[in-house]
């Protein structure tokens, strides 16, 4: 089990709830994946609109933990206000914090992210910051009160996978005791398995499942990959070698003269 802010979550797969072809397909994807956490964009769900209420009813029926998201926020004020709305709407101190700094890559604004994280932590939020693999930024977020880090694998929605393996490995090694989730950019289950093999605690994705030809089947594929990757990490994999080494013993082999 993964643990975030003292809460144990059975599944190490987190799924977003946007872009699915229909509510029924969304629900089927969650059932087949066994995902334990669903991210929900507050901007998509207005408490005063019937459509938003219906969506919230659907999420509650899934029986998963909700992680509200400040998706689309480009300033500290906007992100903090959205987080405050989310706490009232969903009755949870959890918040996935996004403060976007670049429109094309959706890369986080590191300065705004730290500032917003500090404000929200002081207000009692339990912040899940969407960040990059930058070690210095990670350190600042931890100093601001975050107890979880969510570095991207690649820009949101690209499906490029783990574009900076060195950076992700370095980040994981630098803070071995901090729960970390690879968030965004994954396109294939094999990429999720690689993240888990590196020692990450979970992965979060949306587009790769929602935009697949068969979202439910893809969700199940990611679930199996996450489980396999975690098992591999816990099994203490062999170290890679530069030269071949025979797997079959040569002692006792017959020699012809």
How is residue 97 written in tokens? Answer: 């914090």
The partner residues of 131 in beta bridges, in order of sequence, read 151
Active-site residue (options: 60, 96, 211, 253): 96
Integer-rounded Cα Rg, in Å, for the chain is 20
Q: 121 a known binding residue?
A: no
- Answer whether 59's CB lies under 8 Å from 247's CB: no
Burial 146-175 (b: 16+ CB within 10 A, else e): bebbbbbbbbbbbbebbebeeebeebbeee
Q: 81 a known binding residue?
A: no
Q: 164 a known binding residue?
A: no
Catalytic status, residue 211: no
Q: 39 a known binding residue?
A: no
Give the C-alpha separation, 172 to 254, whole Å: 48
| C-alpha distance across the termini of the chain, in Å | 59
Q: 157 a known binding residue?
A: yes
Question: Would you name the residues annotated as active-site residues?
Answer: 96
Binding-site residues from annotation for 1-deoxy-D-xylulose 5-phosphate: 157, 184-185, 206-207
Binding-site residues from annotation: 157, 184-185, 206-207
């Amino acid at each position: 089990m993964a643990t975030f802010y003292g809460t144990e979550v059975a599944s190490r797969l987190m799924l977003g709830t946007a872009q699915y072809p229909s509510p029924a397909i969304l629900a089927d994807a969650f059932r087949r994946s066994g995902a334990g956490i669903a991210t929900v964009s507050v901007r998509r769900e207005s408490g005063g609109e019937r459509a938003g209420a219906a969506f919230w009813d659907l999420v509650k029926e899934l029986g998963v933990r909700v992680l509200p998201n400040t998706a689309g926020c480009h300033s500290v004020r906007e992100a903090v206000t959205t987080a405050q709305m989310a706490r009232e709407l969903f009755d949870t101190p959890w918040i996935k914090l996004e403060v976007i700094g670049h429109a094309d890559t959706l890369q986080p604004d590191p300065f705004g992210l730290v500032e917003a994280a500090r404000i929200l932590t002081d207000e009692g939020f339990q912040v899940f910051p969407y960040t990059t693999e930058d070690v210095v930024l990670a350190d600042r977020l931890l100093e601001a009160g975050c107890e979880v880090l969510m570095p991207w694998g690649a820009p949101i929605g690209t499906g490029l996978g783990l574009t900076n393996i060195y950076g992700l490995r370095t980040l994981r090694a630098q803070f071995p005791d901090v729960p970390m989730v690879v968030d965004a950019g994954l396109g294939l289950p094999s990429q999720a398995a690689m993240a888990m093999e590196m020692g990450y605690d979970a992965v979060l994705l949306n587009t790769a499942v929602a935009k697949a030809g068969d979202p439910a089947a893809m969700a199940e594929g990611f679930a199996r990959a996450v489980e396999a990757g975690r098992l591999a990490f816990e099994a203490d994999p062999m170290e890679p070698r530069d030269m071949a080494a025979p797997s079959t013993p040569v002692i006792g082999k017959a020699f012809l003269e």
